[in-house]
Structure formats: C-alpha cells, structure tokens
Structure 1
Amino acid sequence: MEIVTASVTDQGGRSRNEDSFGDWSSERLYYCVVADGAGGHGGGDAASRIVVDSVLADLRYLTVAELPPTGERLANSLEHANQNIVEEQLHRGGQNKDMRSTAVVLAIDRECRTAAWAHCGDTRLYFFRQGEINARTRDHSMVQEMVDAQLLAAEDMRNHPRRNVLYAALGTNTQLDIAHVDGTVEVRNGDAFLICTDGLWEYADDAFVTATLLSAGTPAAWLDVLAATVRANAKANHDNFTALVAWVVDDPESTVLKLTPGCAPA
C-alpha cells in the first residue's frame, strides 16, 4: 500500500501566514498535521507551528503496543500540543497569552491498513471512498451548532457573520474539546483524505470538493483546482489557506487515482 501526497499553503490577503502543516513517514506509518493559528503579533503562527512539531515528535516514538495508532492516541497527542502552547503563552506573555490554534492530525498504518484522526476547532478532515464523502469532521463552532440544531442551512455556514466563533481551540487551560474517530477505520485502495483550514473550505463546498476529486488525475492536480478556486473567489483580505491530500493506492508504480462515482477504484 502506497500513500501519494500533495500540499499547498497560501498567505492569502493577510500580512503573515499563520497556518502550519507537516508530515512524517516510515516504512509502516504515515502522519500528517494541519494547524491554523490565531492570536496576532506572531502568536498565531507560533501556536500552529508548536502543534505540528509537537504532534509529529510525539507520534514518531509510538511503541509496538500502541500500534496501529488510534483516534484516542491522536487526541492525546493534541492534548500534549495544547499543553505546549499554554507553556509558550506563559513564556512569551503580553499579547501572545491569547495565541490559539485549530488542528487535524491523521495517521495511516500501511501494515494494518488502518487510519485514524483527531481534531480541534474548524480545520477539517474529509475522508473519501469510491469518490464520495465517507466521513467529515464536525467543526467546533457556533455555526456548526446552529446547523446541528436546524437553525441554519449547512450551505449558509460559510458566509455567516459568526462563522469564526469557535467553541474549542488548542491553547487553553479550561476543559478542551478534542474529537476523534473511535479506534481505527479500515483503508482501501482508492481512499482519499483531504485536510484543510477554513480559509479553503469557506470557498469550496462539499459538492465542489467531491466533483473536483472525481475529475482530478493526481493529488497535486486536485489541490491546484481547489487553490485556484479560492484565489478566484476570495476577497482581497482573505484568510490564509492550507490543504494536504493523502491518496491510498495499492500499485506502487502508479501515482494516478482513477475514480468513478459509485464504483470501486480502478
């Protein structure tokens, strides 16, 4: 089983890019993290970088007894990252005491053919199977709560004036809401994962993300289309955006994933 990846990050219309991402791979394991910082004055980019570095450092040294990585274990790694941000807040002081970060971490075990993920905030993970969304993380946000309560249509959450109000983010001493998949999920040839910050999904709804996956020949081509859509439709001062894609392929010689809606991957 091979994992084909691609990534993109863009400063957008902001003075600095407060998003961070990273991945790590061994013969058996693949980890990736995407984080979206907030706090200004360098705090946001510092917070998101702490998340990525902390999570990857933590997961690299899992024992055999901890494999395959589970959603619960990944949530624990985000808890550790939260503690590290809090410590850095105390060290920096001043305006950086409020720096925060959202995050998603994904782990794939090639040997066990499993995946797991955990997240906090409104950075999202999409899991595609046979060209359709099989799972998607639920935002820790006011507008997500409104959608769940049927007070707001899902298609309206991207433009709601309170869209940026979050109920959870890393960098807090209070009780923290970190969501995770229970245990692990099986991965199959043709499965695809997209992790992205809100700066991207604000301009690409679920239908568009799915349609562009089906027409893309490679992960890089898919991200090119998504990034171009953001740049074409975003306001002048639009947010940073970052995305990372991981496709599962059984043929190590192939980097192209062919999908037909409702059919098993070729």
Structure 2
Amino acid sequence: MLAIDSAEQSNTGGRTRNEDFCGSWQNAQVACWCLSDGAGGHGSGDVASRLVVRYVLESFAAQPVVSAERIVELLEGAHAALMDAKSVEGADNMHATCSILLINRTESLVSWGHVGDSRIYLFRNGQLAFQTRDHSLVQTMIDAGYGDTAMIRTHPQRSLLTSAIGNSGELQVSVSGAPAPLAVGDVFLMCTDGWWEYVEEGLMQSALSESVNLQDWLTRMATVVMQTAEKGHDNFTGVAIAVRDDEDSPTTVMLPPGA
C-alpha cells in the first residue's frame, strides 16, 4: 500500500481577508483534498470557499469512492449548496473555484477535477507531467488562437472565469477521466491563482528539486510570491501531496484540515 504525505500553506497576501480555503479527509484506504478560492461582495468570498470545501469533504466521507463520476457529483453538489446559500442577504455575487484530488491507496489510483482557475499540477520523476486548464476568459482566448500562453499571467482580464461554483448558467466541470495509476515519487501541487500567477511552472519544478520536504517546497514558492507580487495582491494557497512507498520515511508531517 502506498503512503501519502501532504503539506499546505495559505497567506492573505496583500488583502485584509483570506478568501482561500483548503482541507482534507482520509481513512485507511482513500483520501480527498479540496481547495477553493472564494469571491463575492460584502466579504462573502470566505464564506463561499469554506462552504465548498466543507461540503466536498463531508460528502466524500459519506461515500468515499475514487472516480471521475464521484468528482462530478461532488462539484455539482457543492454548486447546488452554494446556490442555496446565496439566498442570504448580501451574498448574491458569491462564487468560488474548486479543485479536488482523490487517491485510492490500496489500488494506487488517482482522480482529480476542477471548476475555475485553481490548478492541479502533477510532477513525475521530478518533471512537470500534467497541469489542469483554467476555466477562464483568457484561456478561452488562447485556445481560440487569440494569443499565447504568456497572456494567462498578464492579461488585464485574467481573473474573469467562464465557470465557477455558485455562478448562474451551465456549470463547466473538468475531470481526469478514469482513475490513473500512481507511481512512487509522484508529487501534486494544488494552488489558487494568487499562487501560480507569480510562480511559473519551471520555477515550481526547480524548487521541487532543491527542497528537502514538501513544506520546504511550498515555502520556497511562497517566498517568490511575496517577493514579486504587486502591492495589494491576492490571497495565495498551495497544497502539496507526495506519494511514497509505505516503508519509506515520511517527507513531511501531515497537517490537519484547514491548518
């Protein structure tokens, strides 16, 4: 059976309120990590992200199945729950991103999915092997040939989402498909746009090779954000998950949900 280590780091950045939230749930066989970046008027973004993460974790704990279909159910359920919560006065514009990573230890399988622009990266053998594609206006423009990938971090409208939990209209969900096999040494990074906007993929990879553990990796990247971000920059949150053989020593201490 594989062993899983994880660490997380969240920062208010240049804002007065942290509207990012993350957490995890696991038992002896399976594990779930969830990350959300909330937004909305009257400070309701933090309410949105917490509602989404708690809904996902509680729902997964009630039916801990690792599959693409289960991720779709969790994302659609979170969307319905947030739409219900928007009846609260002053929360009409409340919405959130959501990224979910599910691991089956006993079968060495992983599934992931997301809505919005909070990303999931997979590093295998120390190299970037996969990253999710944002549900954003700028990503749509790039896909249509109206610019290159550099726009994703520089365009004035880079924060406009084409799909989000709690938005009206059809919910666009992206999932990884059938559960994929895990390999010892696989490392995942889940992060909000306030994180990846200032930490390019090459830097993520080089920082990973230089780090002694997951927390060190996150700290190195967070330092880059603090050194390069503009005044008043967004909250930023990163969650790192590493796969190892159960007989190997852990790479870091497991953190509690929402720490």
TM-score bucket of the superposed structures, by smaller chain: over 0.9
Structure-1 residue corresponding to 2:200:
205
Offset of 1:76 from its aligned partner? Answer: 1.1
Q: Name the SS for the 1:158 alignment partner.
A: helix
1:78 aligns with 2:75: yes
Structure-2 residue corresponding to 1:17:
18
Offset of 1:197 from its aligned partner? Answer: 0.1
5+ long unaligned stretches in structure 2: 253-259
Work out the number of aligned pairs and report it: 251
**TM-score, L = length of structure 2:** 0.93
Write out per-residue CA displacement over residues 214-261 of structure 1, whole angstroms, 9 at most, x where no aligned residue. Answer: 22121101000010000000111000001100000004442249xxxx
Structure-2 residue corresponding to 1:128:
123
Alignment root-mean-square deviation, CA: 1.3
Distance (whole Å) between structure 1 residues aligned to residue 61 and residue 158 of structure 2: 35
1:242 aligns with 2:237: yes
Q: How does 1:115-194 map to 2 (within 5 A)?
A: 115-194=110-189
5+ long unaligned stretches in structure 1: 258-266
**TM-score, L = length of structure 1:** 0.91
Structure-2 residue corresponding to 1:36:
37
Write out per-residue CA displacement over residues 1-60 of structure 1, whole angstroms, 9 at most, x where no aligned residue. Answer: 111111000001112000110001111111100100000312100110011000000111
Offset of 1:173 from its aligned partner? Answer: 3.9
Distance (whole Å) between structure 1 residues aligned to residue 198 and residue 247 of structure 2: 33
Distance (whole Å) between structure 2 residues aligned to residue 164 and residue 24 of structure 1: 29
Offset of 1:130 from its aligned partner? Answer: 1.0
Q: Name the SS for the 1:229 alignment partner.
A: helix
Q: Name the SS for the 1:75 alignment partner.
A: helix
Offset of 1:149 from its aligned partner? Answer: 2.2
Write out per-residue CA displacement over residues 131-171 of structure 1, whole angstroms, 9 at most, x where no aligned residue. Answer: 11221111000111122223222123201101011100000
Instruction: Tell me, yes or no, if the aligned pair for 1:155 and 1:205 is still in contact at 8 Å.
Output: no
